[in-house]
């Protein structure tokens, strides 16, 4: 049995306790509301005795005869929302919590720790027990524990937390299942909310809670004491990745800390960094990002951070907290694997900043392993074809797709990314390109090198994204529901809670913006033969007419290998310069392609310039009939065509240019009352 301070508290053996509480609900009448009969309990809104409250129940009990009962069939959970405050907000000392819970078969359960005395400010931990008997625990948004549990029986959950050194330990049935440092190292209450909609839950939640207890033991500060409370790789644990680790020091003494040495030892190689000219007050923290990087090993390896030479040396009065060791087990990505993350967003969407933040961390932490694409809706950066395609898969904003799997919240992309990263792709994709600055035409080749044989309707698609997009129009301003409401800290350290409810366009810059997807959301149907052998290589060419004002130096080419079922098997990513360096490879020309949104949506010409064999006129008519003509520079008409077509139905008209002399021509389209004229260059 795991011995904890909690068991001592129940028997009254711990002295000098700042707060302690235990409850088995046996003294209350069945059917009464816990928020009414016990002053220790309340609800999220503070209104007890109603739909938010939980009733005393005797259908299930861990210790005879009563418990409290939670049930919901609403897809969003609730309305029960019961809170047990812990008597204050604690960020130092030892805190322990436990309860027993019984979850019905085919149902789920959820509860969370609130970090602040004012509920709703910050979630310190979230506990998800899903109807498939898997559980997921997150702390500060990061997954810290996953595993399985048994339904229709009582489960004992314990949390032993050293808030002074940020050491959190979770146990189920007396077995330690997670030890971690919490990015939110404080605790104030627990919130029980019956829901089962995350991680693929079926929306049904039924559970009982019994034998709740907590206690807090204060810590007495010595005169001088520097402690290591966290060591972080500063990115996901990926084999071969280069990381600049971060260590967080906390002043657990009375005297301010002005200097110290910090040493990180990873895989037997120590790195020491001296920090001076700081002023860390009592209970304050300071995070050091090492200037020297470490390369992650493929096997589980510990990393230890040790603080020394505090304020020039002398006695550290509590050496037990001078060092912290954390074990990391890096994953090994499948060779050539790039995970595609598509984020549905819009400047009008007040909760979409969390998608922006998630994509920032994706680009920083998974460079070369994942590609993010921000698909905008209802704002000046919208690409209609992409927006319509992803809109058919999601039900609201913000949403995200990882390799076009289940629709998830953008904040939850990192677990699926890590899961998909180790799955071997059927083919590795290489992006090549050539660019004509005179015509502003970008040609892209996507080459698929197949490791395995495949059959069926496999497809390639090509996406162009742009970073650092901004504008002066008011619609470039970002709605922000986090303003004054909830902390959301971006990679740059800016907390969206401190930004206005509508962040003006002058302060907004958008990355990963989807500018085009070719030939469409579902990819090119004839990318490959019906059967492809292992070691086969196939190339498809895409063509883009860049709109004036787009910055090619800020663009990425993202390719996708789409499986017959519509999910993405693999991706490829490169800057335009990188793709040009890879070289353009001739392959199958995609005859229909999605273009950048521009002022002329009726006529596009591809390829342009043409090499003298053919060109395609891509026409999106606004009327039922269009007249087309091509005129040389002397005014001579060399081609005419009348095209009858349904309105707004794109038509591809191949035109032979074999017999046309080299030179400049004008393509003229009369579409009802509108006339479109564009240049065509024959080489």
- What does the pLDDT read at residue 7? 29
652 occurs within a structural domain: yes
Task: Say if residue 641 is in the same domain as residue 561.
Answer: no
- What does the pLDDT read at residue 599? 39
- What does the pLDDT read at residue 673? 67
Confirm if 340 and 560 have CB atoms less than 8 A apart. yes
Distance (Å, whole) CA 180 – CA 139: 9
pTM, entire model? 0.68
pLDDT in tens, 17-42: 458 999 999 999 999 999 999 999 99
Nearest to 657 by CA among 617, 618, 613, 608: 613
Phi, psi angle pair for 499, to nearest 5°: -95, 160
- CATH number of the domain to which 613 belongs: 2.60.40.3080
- What does the pLDDT read at residue 331? 92
Task: Say if residue 138 is in the same domain as residue 41.
Answer: yes
594 occurs within a structural domain: no
Q: Is 521 left (phi over 0), alpha (psi -120 to 50) or beta?
A: alpha
Task: Say if residue 401 is in the same domain as residue 464.
Answer: yes
- What does the pLDDT read at residue 606? 78
Those residues of the chain that have pLDDT short of 70 are 1-18, 591-601, 612, 647-648, 673
Domain endpoint, select from 536, 558, 589: 589
Report the Cα–Cα distance between both ends of the chain, in Å, rounded: 82
- CATH number of the domain to which 120 belongs: 2.60.120.560
Task: Say if residue 197 is in the same domain as residue 265.
Answer: no
Task: Say if residue 206 is in the same domain as residue 240.
Answer: no
Domain endpoint, select from 306, 328, 350: 328
Give the CA dihedral 636, 641, 642, 644, nearest 10 degrees: -150
Distance (Å, whole) CA 613 – CA 74: 62
- CATH number of the domain to which 258 belongs: 2.60.40.10
- What does the pLDDT read at residue 240? 87
Q: Is 481 left (phi over 0), alpha (psi -120 to 50) or beta?
A: alpha
Task: Say if residue 210 is in the same domain as residue 231.
Answer: no
596 occurs within a structural domain: no
Q: What angle do CA 386, 390, 393 make, to 5 degrees?
A: 160
CB atoms within 10 A of CB 624: 12
Confirm if 345 and 398 have CB atoms less than 8 A apart. yes
- What does the pLDDT read at residue 391? 94
Domain endpoint, select from 328, 360, 394: 328
- What does the pLDDT read at residue 18? 58
Task: Say if residue 160 is in the same domain as residue 201.
Answer: yes
Distance (Å, whole) CA 678 – CA 423: 47
Task: Say if residue 207 is in the same domain as residue 294.
Answer: no
- What does the pLDDT read at residue 308? 95
Task: Say if residue 179 is in the same domain as residue 111.
Answer: yes
515 occurs within a structural domain: yes
347 occurs within a structural domain: yes
Phi, psi angle pair for 334, to nearest 5°: -65, 140
334 occurs within a structural domain: no
- What does the pLDDT read at residue 441? 83
- What does the pLDDT read at residue 682? 85
598 occurs within a structural domain: no
Task: Say if residue 415 is in the same domain as residue 452.
Answer: yes
Task: Say if residue 579 is in the same domain as residue 496.
Answer: yes
Helices 414-421, 353-365: axis angle to 10 degrees equals 30
DSSP collapsed to 3 states, 35-82 = HHHCCCCEECCCCCCCCCCCEEECCCCCCCCCEEEEEECCCCCCCCCE
Nearest to 559 by CA among 574, 537, 544, 580: 574
Residue 599 CA neighbour count, 13 Å, CB half: 5
Domain containing residue 309: 226-328
230 occurs within a structural domain: yes
Task: Say if residue 122 is in the same domain as residue 159.
Answer: yes
pLDDT in tens, 611-665: 767 888 888 777 778 889 998 877 788 999 888 877 667 777 888 888 888 887 8
Domain total in the chain: 4
């Amino acid at each position: 049995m795991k011995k904890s301070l909690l068991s001592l508290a129940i028997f009254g053996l711990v002295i000098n306790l700042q707060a302690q509480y235990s409850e088995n609900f046996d003294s209350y009448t069945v059917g009464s509301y816990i928020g009414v009969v016990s002053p220790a309990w309340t609800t999220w809104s503070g209104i007890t005795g109603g739909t938010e409250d939980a009733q005393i129940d005797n259908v299930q009990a861990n210790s005879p005869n009563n418990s409290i009962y939670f049930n919901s069939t609403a897809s969003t959970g609730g309305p029960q929302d019961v809170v047990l405050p812990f008597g204050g907000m604690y960020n130092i000392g030892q805190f322990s919590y436990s309860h027993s819970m019984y979850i019905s078969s085919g149902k789920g359960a959820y509860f969370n720790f609130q970090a602040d005395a004012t509920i709703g400010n910050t979630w310190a931990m979230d506990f998800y027990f899903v109807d498939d008997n898997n559980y997921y625990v997150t702390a500060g948004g990061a997954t810290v524990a996953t595993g399985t549990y048994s339904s229709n029986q009582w489960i004992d959950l314990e949390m032993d937390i050293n808030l002074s050194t940020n050491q959190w330990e979770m146990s189920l049935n007396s077995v330690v299942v997670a030890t971690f440092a919490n990015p939110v190292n404080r605790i104030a209450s627990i919130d029980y909310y019956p829901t089962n909609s995350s991680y693929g839950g079926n929306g049904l939640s039924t559970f009982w809670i019994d034998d709740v207890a907590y206690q807090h033991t204060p810590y007495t500060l010595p005169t001088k004491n520097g402690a290591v409370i966290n060591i972080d790789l500063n990115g996901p644990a990926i084999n071969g990745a280069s990381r600049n680790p971060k260590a967080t020091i906390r002043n657990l003494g009375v005297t301010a800390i002005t200097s110290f040495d910090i040493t990180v030892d990873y895989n037997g190689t120590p790195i020491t960094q001296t920090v001076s000219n700081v002023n860390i007050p009592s209970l304050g923290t300071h995070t050091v990002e090492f200037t020297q990087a470490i390369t992650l090993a493929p096997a589980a390896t510990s990393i230890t951070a040790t603080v020394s030479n505090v304020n020039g040396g002398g006695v550290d009065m509590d050496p037990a907290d001078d060092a912290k060791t954390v074990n990391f087990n890096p994953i090994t990505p499948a060779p050539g694997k790039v995970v595609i993350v598509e984020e549905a967003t819009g400047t009008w969407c007040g909760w979409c900043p969390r998608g922006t933040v998630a994509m920032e961390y994706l680009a920083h932490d998974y460079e070369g392993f994942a590609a993010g694409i921000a698909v905008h809706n209802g704002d000046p950066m919208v690409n209609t074809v992409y927006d319509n395609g992803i809109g058919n898969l999601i039900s609201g904003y913000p949403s995200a797709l990882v390799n076009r799997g289940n629709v998830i919240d953008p904040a939850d992309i990192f677990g699926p990314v890590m899961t998909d990263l180790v799955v071997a792709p059927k083919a590795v994709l290489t992006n090549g390109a050539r660019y004509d600055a005179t015509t502003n035409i970008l040609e892209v080749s996507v080459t698929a090198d197949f490791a395995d044989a495949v059959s069926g309707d496999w497809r390639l698609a090509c996406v162009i994204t742009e970073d650092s997009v901004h504008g002066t129009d008011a619609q470039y301003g970002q709605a922000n529901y986090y303003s004054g409401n909830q902390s959301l800290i971006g990679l740059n350290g800016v907390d969206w809670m401190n930004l206005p409810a509508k962040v003006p366009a002058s302060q907004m810059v958008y990355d990963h913006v989807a500018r085009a997807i070719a030939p469409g959301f579902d990819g090119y149907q004839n990318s490959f033969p019906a059967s492809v052998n292992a070691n086969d290589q196939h190339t498809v060419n895409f063509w883009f007419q860049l709109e004036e004002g787009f910055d090619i130096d800020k663009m990425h080419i993202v390719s996708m290998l789409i499986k017959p079922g519509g999910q993405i098997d693999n991706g490829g990513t490169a800057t335009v310069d990188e793709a040009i360096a890879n070289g353009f490879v001739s392959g199958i020309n995609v005859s229909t392609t999605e273009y950048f949104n521009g002022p002329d949506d009726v006529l596009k010409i591809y390829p342009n310039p043409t090499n003298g064999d053919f060109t395609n006129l891509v026409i999106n008519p606004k009327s039922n009939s269009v007249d087309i003509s091509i005129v040389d520079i002397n005014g001579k008409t060399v081609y005419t065509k009348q095209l009858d077509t349904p309105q707004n139905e794109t038509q591809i008209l191949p035109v032979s240019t074999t017999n046309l002399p080299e030179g400049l021509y004008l393509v003229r389209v009369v579409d009802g009352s509108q006339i479109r004229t564009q240049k065509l260059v024959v080489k």
